[in-house]
Amino acid sequence: MEYPNLFKPLRIGDLELSHRIVMAPLTRLRSSQPGNIPGPINASYYGQRATPGGLLISEASQIAPIGQGYPASPGIHSSEQLAGWRLVTRAVHEEGGFFFIQLWHVGRISHTSFHPEDGLPVAPSAVRPAGETMTASWETVPFETPRPLDRAEIPQLIETYRQAAQHAMVAGADGVEIHGANGYLLDQFLQDRTNLRTDEYGGSIENRARLLLEVVDAASSVWGPGRVGVRLSPFGTFNDMGDSDPVRLFTYVIRQLSARGIGYLHLIEPRSSESSGGAPLDQSAPDAATLFRDSFQGALIGAGGFTGDLAEAAIAAGKADAVAFGRWFISNPDLVERLRQNAPLNPYDRSTFYGGDVRGYTDYPTLAELESMPVGA
C-alpha cells in the first residue's frame, strides 16, 4: 500500500513539515548519571531518526527534581542538562529536522527517593494511586500517598513550567510540548478521580482545567502559541486515572486550547490507554480523534497503536493531520523512508525499551545497512 497522505506537507504554527510522520515522546531512561543529563548516545539516537522537515518530540523531561518519577529520565532544569540537550538539538538540526522538548511533571507518580529534601510527591489531592512505582535506585515499591499542593505553591509551579520552556529555547529546541496526559500532574488536576480540591483549581471542569491552561499560557509567553503543543489522553486509564464525564471535560479543554491558537493538539487514542505497558490494544474503545476533531481548529496529531495503513486512513478521513509513531520509531530509525517505500519494518524488542545502553537504542539497522550486509550475516 502507498501512503500519499503521509507525505503531504503540513504547517504547524510557523513550521512547514515535509511529511506527517511524527516521532512520539518515548521514555527510554538512558540519560547520563549523575544529573539526568542527555549525552552523546541520546544525540545519536535522535539524530538517527531525524529527517528533513520531520518533527521529533523528545522523551518526557522533568521540569524540576520533584517532577521526576523514573530513574535516568532526563531533566530540563540544570545547566548541565541544557548543555546535553544542545547536543541533541544540534544532531536533529544537522539532519534538517525539527525538535520539540516535552515538559513533564509526574505529580503523585513520583517517589520520595527522587527528591528526599522535598519530601512526599505532590498532587492536586491526597489520593494514592493503585499499584507500584519505581524508586531512584530502580526498585519497585507501592505508591506513596501524595501531599496536596497548597494554593500558594501553584504560581511557582507555573513559573517553573515557564522557566522550563525558556530552557528548551536556550537548548536549541524548536518548541515545547506540554505533557497533560497519562496520569501525570496536569492530567491529575484535570480528572475528578484525582482532583478533589475545593478551591479555584478543583470542582468544576473550568476549575480543574485552569492549571493546564495557565501552564500553556506561560509556555506561550516564551515561544508564542504556535510553537507550543499539548498532549492529552482522553479516556486514558494508565496510572489509575479516570473521570466521571470525560467527553464534557476534554471537549471544554480542547476548545480552550483551540482558542489559544496552539501549534498542535496531540491526542492519545484510548485503544492504547495502558500506555507502554504492553497490554493488547482495545479496538472497541472510543475514537478520540472522531469525538474531538471538531473542537480543535489547528493541527491534530493522533497517537496510539497506529500502523502505516491506519495512519494513512486517519489522515485521509480528516480525523488527524499527522500521526505519532512510538514503538516502530524505536526499532526503525529510518521509519519515514520505510513507510515511503512500504518496506518491511524491524521488529522491536520490548525488553530493551527502558534503561541500558546502545542495545535496543542506537543499534537497530536501517534499510541501507541491511541491504549492504553479506548474505547470511
Counting residues of the chain whose pLDDT is more than 70, the rounded percentage is: 95
CA distance linking residue 342 with residue 344, whole number of Å: 7
Q: What predicted TM-score, i.e. pTM, was given to this entire model?
A: 0.96
pLDDT, position 374: 75
pLDDT tens for 109-123 read 999 999 999 999 999
Q: Taking the mean position of all CA atoms in its chain, how far away is CA 369?
A: 30
Q: What is the pLDDT of residue 372?
A: 84
The per-residue pLDDT for 14 is: 94
167/154 Cα distance (integer angstroms): 20
Q: What is the pLDDT of residue 282?
A: 58
**pLDDT for 285-334, tens place per residue?**
678 888 999 999 999 999 999 999 999 999 999 999 999 999 999 999 99
Q: Is residue 377 part of a domain?
A: no
Q: Tell me, what DSSP letter sits at residue 154?
A: H
The predicted pLDDT at position 289 comes to: 80
For the record, the C-alpha cell of 18 comes out as: 515535509
Q: How confident is the model at residue 86 (pLDDT cuts 50, 70, 90)?
A: very high
Instruction: Give the pLDDT of residue 6.
Output: 98
Q: What is the C-alpha to C-alpha distance for residues 172 and 166, in angstroms, rounded to an integer?
A: 10
Q: What is the reported pLDDT for 371?
A: 87
The answer, yes or no, to whether residue 272 has pLDDT greater than 70, is: no
> Would you say residue 275 has pLDDT above 60?
no
Residues near 347 by beta carbon (within 8 Å), at least 6 away in sequence = 331
Q: Where does the pLDDT of residue 280 fall: very low under 50, low under 70, confident under 90, or very high at 90 and above?
A: low
- CATH number assigned to the domain comprising residue 148: 3.20.20.70
Per-residue pLDDT averaged across 360-374, rounded?
Answer: 92
- What are the tens digits of pLDDT across the range 328-356? 999 999 999 999 999 999 999 999 999 99
Residues that are catalytic: 184
Rounded Cα gap, residues 76 and 60, in angstroms: 10
Q: Is residue 244 part of a domain?
A: yes
The count of domains in the chain is 1
| Res 274 pLDDT > 80 | no
Angle between the 210-223 and 154-170 helix axes, to the nearest 10 degrees?
30
Domain of 241, in residue numbers: 5-372
What's the pLDDT tens digit per position in 49-75? Answer: 999 999 999 999 999 999 999 999 999
Q: Is residue 31 part of a domain?
A: yes
Q: What is the pLDDT of residue 376?
A: 60
Q: What pLDDT shows up at residue 375?
A: 63
Q: Is residue 192 part of a domain?
A: yes
Residue 207 has pLDDT above 80, yes or no: yes
Q: How much of the chain, in percent, has pLDDT values that exceed 90? A: 91
Residue-level pLDDT at 337: 98
Contact 27, 354 (CB under 8 A): yes
Q: Is residue 100 part of a domain?
A: yes
Question: What is the arithmetic mean of pLDDT over 35-55?
Answer: 98
- Structure confidence at residue 278 (pLDDT): 53
One-character DSSP codes across 234-259: TT--TTT---S-HHHHHHHHHHHHHH
Q: Encode pLDDT of 110-164 as tens digits.
A: 999 999 999 999 999 999 999 999 999 999 999 999 999 999 999 999 999 999 9
